[in-house]
Amino acid sequence: MSIKDHLQYLKDTTVKEVDVRSAHQQFADNQSVLIDIREKDEVKSGSPTGAVRISKGLLEMQIENIVLHKQQVVLLLCASGNRSVLSANSLAQMGYENVFSIKGGYKNWKDSGLPFEVPKMLNESDNERYKRHLLIPEIGEEGQMKLLNSKVLVVGAGGIGSPVAWYLAAAGIGTLAIIDDDVVDKTNLQRQILHTNDSVGTSKVLSAKKRLEALNPDINIITYKERLTKENVDHIIGVYDVVLDGTDNFNTRYLINDACVKHKIPNVHGSVFQFEGQVSTFWPSKHENAPCYRCLYPSPPPAELAPSCAEAGVLGVLPGLVGVLCATEAIKIIAGFGELLIGKLLVYNALDWEFDTFEVQKDTQCKYCNSNKNTEYPEYVEYEDTCTL
């Protein structure tokens, strides 16, 4: 059987087709996933606005990361409507029940005046720098572009913020912001890997900026040499896609939580105490039952019960591990793969090599993550500074 006859056979017996206008309407109404399966060189000239772009050869490997369940409507688009028929047949054999090939492909889409865009593409330098990411199906070029187009705020350039910022810069976060009003002290060097002996006495954010730009000069590093307060938190946090909380005091943790809940931004939280580290993601707007930080810790402990950072101490390598876990979570959020720590608290004990994961329940009485458009959002609260867990 010739290829032409085989395609016609699939159209007659197996593969469902849809015209470009119907496909556009379904996609615009958020009733489907639109996947452009053409090769990179073809996509350079344009692609339907908002489409997921995965070449035909990688589609079967990556489909599970794009389509959440096998009943979801999937629209496949190629150049003229032939390759999409073959791919639709392959996905049907994998158990996907509602896969459609778009008749006439991108040529008909563009000729019909439907919206398209010329997507940003990785340049030669990007392909070299992020090659190991591009080889991973869960990230690939699509995920790497998401990282390069993202904006992340790291609160604190200390023990946790240092490895977080270092690995996010290496991963290609396009805009990486750091806020910290402190200066580098010699006691920081035991764990705060962004700073060196030459940095002692200088601003932490400027020390961090210098190191990160040396690591990856192609990204944008923004610094805030100030403390996060209830007066500036909305102005600073509201423009970012993800916020990473690497702070060591409850006052700032609650402030970050409350602002992130208000602005519907994921809050990746990391904390350390002597030999123990904790990591979680608070993102109530993502899921109805997702808790916020206040659901886990409704109120700070009395100041006299929370030892200061200097009194408590911390194993120097521990913030590095916690920071790497936080950076991993941020990359997964932005690139859109894997399971997140929403509603879960990951606890690590360095003394006995134990990793434990605990469920965090949403507090139905929490006035922050249960607020809605009919309820005035609570005002930000300032607490007396207390450190550690």
The residue from 260, 292, 295, 309 that is catalytic is 309
12-45 confidence digits (pLDDT tens): 778 899 999 999 999 988 889 999 999 988 998 8
**Cβ–Cβ contacts within 10 Å for residue 161, how many?**
29
Same-domain pairing of 92 and 210: no
- pTM check: above 0.85: no
pLDDT at 141 over 90: no
The 344-349 sheet, strands edge to edge: 220-224, 175-179, 151-155, 242-245, 267-273, 276-282, 344-349, 354-359
Same-domain pairing of 51 and 167: no
Look up the domain containing 48 and give its range. Answer: 3-117
260-312 confidence digits (pLDDT tens): 999 999 999 999 999 999 999 999 988 888 999 999 999 887 766 666 555 67
Same-domain pairing of 211 and 95: no
Rounded-to-integer distance, Cα 258 and Cα 325, Å: 22
Rounded-to-integer distance, Cα 38 and Cα 241, Å: 29
Q: Is residue 88 domain-resident?
A: yes
Judge whether 78 counts as a catalytic residue. Answer: no
φ, ψ (nearest 5 deg) of residue 35: -120, 120
Rounded-to-integer distance, Cα 154 and Cα 128, Å: 26
Confidence at 388, pLDDT banded by 50, 70, 90? very low
Same-domain pairing of 110 and 158: no
Confidence at 119, pLDDT banded by 50, 70, 90? confident
**For residues 169-179, b (16+ Cβ closer than 10 Å) or e, as one string?**
bebbbbbbbbb
Residue 33 has a pLDDT of 92
Rounded-to-integer distance, Cα 76 and Cα 103, Å: 9
| pLDDT, mean over the chain | 90
Residue 1 has a pLDDT of 65
DSSP conformation letters of 292-304: -HHHH-SSPPPGG
Strand partners, 346: 279, 357
Same-domain pairing of 186 and 307: yes
Same-domain pairing of 94 and 181: no
Residue 14 has a pLDDT of 80
Please indicate whether residue 176 or residue 389 has the higher confidence score (pLDDT). 176
Residue 311 has a pLDDT of 61
Q: Is residue 282 domain-resident?
A: yes
Residue 389 has a pLDDT of 43
Q: Is residue 12 domain-resident?
A: yes
Please indicate whether residue 282 or residue 122 has the higher confidence score (pLDDT). 282
Q: Is residue 43 domain-resident?
A: yes
Distances in whole angstroms, Cα of residue 355 to Cα of each of 205, 278, 328, 350: 32, 10, 16, 9
Percentage of the chain modeled with pLDDT above 70: 94
What is the average per-residue pLDDT within 79-104? Answer: 92
Confidence at 354, pLDDT banded by 50, 70, 90? very high
When mean pLDDT is compared across 20-29, 62-71, 195-204, the lowest value belongs to 62-71
Q: Is residue 137 domain-resident?
A: no
Same-domain pairing of 225 and 349: yes
Please indicate whether residue 378 or residue 8 has the higher confidence score (pLDDT). 378
Residue 385 has a pLDDT of 57
Contacts of 196 (CB under 8 A, 6+ apart): 189, 207, 211
Residue 135 has a pLDDT of 92
Q: Is residue 15 domain-resident?
A: yes
Rounded-to-integer distance, Cα 301 and Cα 308, Å: 13
What is the average per-residue pLDDT within 69-80? Answer: 92
Strand partners, 243: 153, 267
Contacts of 291 (CB under 8 A, 6+ apart): 282, 284, 343, 360, 361, 362, 363, 366, 369
Please state the domain count of the chain. 2
What is the average per-residue pLDDT within 195-206? Answer: 96
Residue 210 has a pLDDT of 96
